[in-house]
Structure 1
Amino acid sequence: MKFICLTLLIISGIADSLSEKYEVVGPADPVFAVAGEDVILPCSVKPNISVVDMRVEWFRPGLKDSQLVHLYENHEDRNTEQIQSYRGRTKLNHQELQRGNASLKLSSVQVSDEGLYKGFIQSKSRSDDATVNVSVEAAGRPPVITVDGFDHSGGLHLQCESEGWNPEPDLEWLDSRHTEGFSVKHTITLHHSDKIHCRVKLRHHMLETLIISSSNMFHSWRTSVIVIVVLSVIAGILIAVFAHKNRGKILVFLLFYIFYVNKAV
């Protein structure tokens, strides 16, 4: 009888030892997330054994302060030491733990969530982890086109600006035919009227702004220059004539002014 009990204990120990031979696996490629939406950070064990009785910990390696993103231990979530910015945004599916799935759901993704994560699973006799690289996309504000003056040839400078993107997007200028009529720069110069589009693209996101440069803008610039030149010439002539005819009066006025200032001092 003792022999039978001993045999059963040995077999049970061998079975437990075999059941704890597992490997933690994660995604080979980065996980892309969109700011404001939810994302799943994949993590599981192979073979698909239950991890309900194990310790499951998600953390951010390399952070100076607290690294804890989510902790499951002794059949419950324990997030008292969790990073403040992750409070209320992480979740483990306890039913999926029975199938070896320890993937973490991260809600309301923020740009600051971008980076490396580790899913750590520990049993009584073994531990392993997998790394997940999260890349966060954020669509910025609609682009704003402003007129930045004229150059010496009469060309119109346009500046396009859009903020709040992650990562850095592509910016391109399009003319009324929606073709790439200009170099991809933040500032362009126009020499004729047209409908100009500033388009900012980032993978699946695109924002676009339209500005219509009418011929009146160019005519007004040329007219302003001509008017200024003509008025300057007329003013110069009038000043010269006035000074020539009133040289004596101007001299008397200056002497009187100097005498008055000295007396006041």
Structure 2
Amino acid sequence: MVVAPGSDITLSCSFHYSEADDPGRVVLTWHRGQEVVHSFYYGTDQLKEQSPAYRGRTQLFPEQVAVGNASLRLREVQGSDQGTYTCAVANEQGSSQRDLQILVAAEYEEPRLVINMSKHPGLVMLEYCAQGYPQATVLWLNQSGGDITERSHTSQWESRG
């Protein structure tokens, strides 16, 4: 799923349950690679081992765990949140896990290109302006379609505002 930086997202995850199951025996963990994103067991959040990168930004829906909903709310998504998340659940019905992919991206506006001719022969200054996330990949081609990126100098910077 694609999410814009700064927004909130709910990662959906469900598991098999029975009304006879003891909700206090559900062990639920969200992780990304080796990082613990959120843990829940003994009927409550267990955040002692939570990665500092997620502290204060995650939320389960505890009243929904008893009916098989292990979805996670992630607030204020950052570029560093991009990746594969795993929802792992164990209860009296067994264990299961599900992977979800997050891609952090924002819409791009139409790029703007400004051409400035230099006083030095053979030197042309091109200014390319694009907005969005992730940072654009710039490839320079000549009129024949040949790649001249290696023969050019390209600088990129982030503009705020």
TM-score, normalising length from structure 1?
0.44
Work out whether residues 3 and 9 of structure 2, in 8 Å CA contact, stay in contact via their aligned partners in 1: yes
Residue matched to 1:52: 23
Residue matched to 2:9: 39
- The gaps in structure 2 that reach 5 residues or longer are 140-144, 148-161
The 3-state SS of whatever aligns with 1:85 is helix
**Bigger RCO (CA 8 Å, 6+ sep):** 2
Show the 5 A alignment for 1:55-204. 55-61=27-33, 63=34, 67-124=35-92, 126-138=94-106, 145=114, 147=116, 149=118, 157-162=125-130, 165-166=133-134, 168=136
Work out whether residues 111 and 138 of structure 1, in 8 Å CA contact, stay in contact via their aligned partners in 2: no
Pick the structure with greater CA Rg.
1
Aligned CA RMSD, in angstroms, stands at: 3.6
Deviations 1:94-133 (A, max 9, x none): 1221221111000000000000111010125722111111
Note the C-alpha offset of 1:164: 6.3
Distance 1:76 1:35 in 2: 29
Distance 2:66 2:121 in 1: 73
Residue matched to 1:4: none
How many residues align? The count is 139
- The gaps in structure 1 that reach 5 residues or longer are 1-30, 172-182, 186-265
Identity of aligned residues (%): 27
TM-score, normalising length from structure 2?
0.69
Higher helix share: 1
Distance 1:135 1:45 in 2: 24
Deviations 1:196-249 (A, max 9, x none): xxxxxxxxxxxxxxxxxxxxxxxxxxxxxxxxxxxxxxxxxxxxxxxxxxxxxx
